[in-house]
Chain A
C-alpha cells in the first residue's frame, strides 16, 4: 500500500519536473539571446537606433534593424490577411455543411500540404509565384516588379500557413455541437446568419488561438520566404518591393560574419527581436482569448 502511494507521489513530482522544463525553456533561450547580443549594447549602439534605424552596414559597424522588422511584419501580416478568411470559411464549410466524404477526403490532403518541406514551397514560389507577381499582378496595378517581393513572400507564406491554420480551425468547429446550429436554424436563421452569429462566436476562443499560433509560425518561417522575397536591405515602400525579413537575415549570414566585429552579436540581437515580437504577439492573442472567454 505504501509502495503504491510512494510511486504515486514520485510520478506526480516527475510530471512537474517535465513541466518545469517546458517553462524554463523559453526563459533559457531568451536569456541566452540577451547575453549573446549584449556586446552590441556595451559598444555605442542604443536600443532605439538598433530598432528604428534603417542604416545597415556591418562593415561600418552600423546595425539598423528597421528594414528587417518591417519586412517581417509586412510579409506575415499580408500572408495572414490572405489565409485567415480562407481558412475560416473552408473550416466552417467542411465541418458544418460539406458531405462527410469531402471532409474525409480533405483531411489527408491537408496533412500532405502540411508535410511538404518548406524548401519545396520555396521552389514552387520561385517557379510560379515570382513570375506571377512580376508579370501579371504588378503590371495589373501599374507597378514594376522583378517578382521577388514582399507580395511573393506573402503569397507563399499564406499557402504554407493554410494547412496549419485550417487543421486547428477544423478542430475548433468540430467541437461546436450540431445542435447549436439546429437551434439557430430552427429560430428561422439562415445558414449564413447561423455561421456569423453562432459558430464564429462559439468558436471565437479557438479561432483566436489558431490565428495567434499561425502568426507566430509564419513570422518565423525562413527558407521559403527567403527564396522569393529578394533579400534587399531596404524599407519596403510597397508590396511589390523586395524585402529582407529577420529570419532570412539570420539564415543568410550566420557563419559568415567572423571578420566583422559585433556582427555576431547583431545577428543574435536579430533573433532576440524575433523572439520578443513573437512573445508580444502571443501576449496580445492571449489577452483577446481571455476577453472572448469572458463572454
Chain B
C-alpha cells in the first residue's frame, strides 16, 4: 500500500474530486462520457476505485449509477444507442479500447443485479456454469468450487441436499446469494453490485450486507445504492452522483460528516 494513486485529470465538473492517497487502484476511469441519442447520460466521469474496499455509488434514481456500473463490464455493448468515449482501465488495461477479449474482462467482475436472475438450471449448475465457461471440465474441481462458493455466501447449509433442484425454487433472498456465489465462482477481482438488496426483505438484505463486509478482504466491491443508511453501513469510499456527474468523491467519513456541495447536504438531510 505504498504507492500513491496517479492523479487523474480533474475537470471543472468534478471540482470536488479527491484522490485518496495510499490506496492501490484497481479500476481507473478517465474522462468517461456516455451519450444516448437524445441525452448525455454520463458526463466526464473520472474515478479511481481502490482495491479491497467498498466503493459506494450514491445518488438519486436516474443519475447514471447503473449505467456507470454497466460501462465497467461493457454490458453497455448490448445497447447500440449508447456511445462511450474515454477510458476505463482495469489492471492498467483500457477495456474500452476494444482490443481485449470482452469475455475475459467480464470474468474479472462479478455482477449482482437489482433482482436475482438465477439461470434456468439447477442450483449446482448455476455455479458450475461460469466454471465451465472458463474451461474447467473436471467434475471433482467443479464440485469442490460449487461447495466453496456456496459456503462463501452462507448458502451451502440451506441447499446442500437439493443442489440438483431448480434454482427458481429458492426464496428471493437465497436466489440473490446464489447469484452472488455464481459471480464469485469465476474468481473476479471486482464485484459490481447494482442495488443488490432492493428486492429483498430487511433480513435478507442484512445477510447480503454482511457478506459484502466479509468479501472485501478478497475482492474490490463497487456498490450502487440509493439507500443512505446502507451506504453508511458499508462504504469505505463514496461517490455521490447527480444528473450523470460525479459531484463529490471521498472517504465515507468525510462525505457523510463534511459534505461540501449543497446538493449532497440536501440529499443527506432528506435521506434520513
Choose among B75, B120, B182 the residue that contacts A182 (Cβ–Cβ < 8 A). Answer: B75
Known contacts A99-B80, A197-B129: does B183 contact A186 (CB below 8 Å)?
Answer: yes
Q: Is B186 engaged at the interface, CB distance under 8 Å to the other chain?
A: yes
Q: Which of B120, B130, B134 has the largest count of A CB atoms less than 10 A from its CB?
A: B120
Interface size on B, residues (CB 8 A): 28
Contact call B186/A188, Cβ cutoff below 8 A: yes
Known contacts A187-B186, A295-B166: does B111 contact A182 (CB below 8 Å)?
Answer: yes
Contact call A183/B133, Cβ cutoff below 8 A: no
| B78 contacts across to A, CB distance below 8 A | 178, 181-182, 185
Contact call A188/B134, Cβ cutoff below 8 A: yes
Alpha-carbon gap, A190 to B130, bound state (A): 11
Contact call B119/A184, Cβ cutoff below 8 A: yes
Task: State the Cβ distance, B89 to closest chain A Cβ, in Å.
Answer: 19
Nearest CB in chain B to that of A181: its residue: B78
| B104 contacts across to A, CB distance below 8 A | 188
Q: Which of A180, A182, A187 has the largest count of B CB atoms less than 10 A from its CB?
A: A187
Q: Is B47 engaged at the interface, CB distance under 8 Å to the other chain?
A: no
Alpha-carbon gap, A177 to B107, bound state (A): 21
In the complex, per-residue mask of B149-186: 1 if CB is within 8 Å of any chain A CB, else 0: 00000000000000000100000000000010011001
Number of residue pairs A-B, CB distance < 8 angstroms: 70
Q: Is A8 engaged at the interface, CB distance under 8 Å to the other chain?
A: no
Interface of B is mostly: mixed
Alpha-carbon gap, A187 to B186, bound state (A): 7
Task: State the Cβ distance, A182 to closest chain B Cβ, in Å.
Answer: 5
Q: Is B121 engaged at the interface, CB distance under 8 Å to the other chain?
A: yes
Contact call B183/A180, Cβ cutoff below 8 A: no
Q: Is A239 engaged at the interface, CB distance under 8 Å to the other chain?
A: no
Interface residues on A, range: 20 to 34
Choose among B111, B120, B122 the residue that contacts A186 (Cβ–Cβ < 8 A). Answer: B111
Q: Is A60 engaged at the interface, CB distance under 8 Å to the other chain?
A: no
Contact call A182/B119, Cβ cutoff below 8 A: no
Alpha-carbon gap, A180 to B126, bound state (A): 12
Task: State the Cβ distance, A117 to closest chain B Cβ, in Å.
Answer: 38
Residues of chain A from 175 to 214 with CB closer than 8 A to chain B in the complex: 177-190, 193, 197-198, 201-202, 204
Alpha-carbon gap, A145 to B255, bound state (A): 82
Task: State the Cβ distance, A193 to closest chain B Cβ, in Å.
Answer: 6
Alpha-carbon gap, A178 to B114, bound state (A): 13
Contact call B107/A179, Cβ cutoff below 8 A: no
Choose among A183, A189, A198 the residue that contacts B111 (Cβ–Cβ < 8 A). Answer: A183
Contact call B133/A182, Cβ cutoff below 8 A: no
| B179 contacts across to A, CB distance below 8 A | 183
Q: Is B117 engaged at the interface, CB distance under 8 Å to the other chain?
A: yes
| B183 contacts across to A, CB distance below 8 A | 186-187
Contact call B80/A185, Cβ cutoff below 8 A: no
Alpha-carbon gap, A189 to B179, bound state (A): 15
Q: Is B103 engaged at the interface, CB distance under 8 Å to the other chain?
A: yes
Known contacts A177-B117, A201-B121: does B166 contact A186 (CB below 8 Å)?
Answer: no
Alpha-carbon gap, A233 to B52, bound state (A): 77
Known contacts A186-B183, A187-B183: does B121 contact A179 (CB below 8 Å)?
Answer: no
Contact call A190/B103, Cβ cutoff below 8 A: yes
Contact call B111/A188, Cβ cutoff below 8 A: no
Task: State the Cβ distance, A203 to closest chain B Cβ, in Å.
Answer: 9
| B111 contacts across to A, CB distance below 8 A | 182-183, 186
Known contacts A99-B80, A183-B179, A185-B75: does B120 contact A202 (CB below 8 Å)?
Answer: yes
Alpha-carbon gap, A204 to B121, bound state (A): 12
Nearest CB in chain B to that of A200: its residue: B120
Known contacts A99-B80, A193-B133, A197-B129: does B117 contact A187 (CB below 8 Å)?
Answer: no
Q: Is B115 engaged at the interface, CB distance under 8 Å to the other chain?
A: yes
Q: Is B239 engaged at the interface, CB distance under 8 Å to the other chain?
A: no
Alpha-carbon gap, A99 to B37, bound state (A): 14
Alpha-carbon gap, A188 to B129, bound state (A): 10
In the complex, per-residue mask of B38-74: 1 if CB is within 8 Å of any chain A CB, else 0: 0000000000000000000000000000000000010
Known contacts A201-B121, A295-B166: does B106 contact A187 (CB below 8 Å)?
Answer: yes
Task: State the Cβ distance, B100 to closest chain A Cβ, in Å.
Answer: 12
In the complex, per-residue mask of B121-133: 1 if CB is within 8 Å of any chain A CB, else 0: 1100000011001
Contact call A198/B134, Cβ cutoff below 8 A: no
Contact call A295/B117, Cβ cutoff below 8 A: no
Contact call B129/A187, Cβ cutoff below 8 A: yes
Contact call B73/A183, Cβ cutoff below 8 A: no
8 A-B pairs with C-beta separation under 8 A: A182-B113, A182-B117, A183-B119, A187-B133, A188-B186, A189-B103, A204-B120, A295-B122
Residues of A within 8 A of B (CB): 99, 177-190, 193, 197-198, 201-202, 204, 295
Residues of B within 8 A of A (CB): 73, 75, 78, 80, 103-104, 106-107, 109-111, 113, 115, 117, 119-122, 129-130, 133-134, 166, 179, 182-183, 186, 192
Known: A185-B106, A187-B129, A193-B133. 19 other contacts (CB 8 A): A179-B113, A179-B115, A180-B119, A182-B111, A182-B117, A183-B179, A183-B182, A185-B75, A186-B75, A186-B106, A188-B104, A188-B106, A189-B103, A190-B103, A197-B119, A198-B119, A201-B119, A201-B121, A204-B120
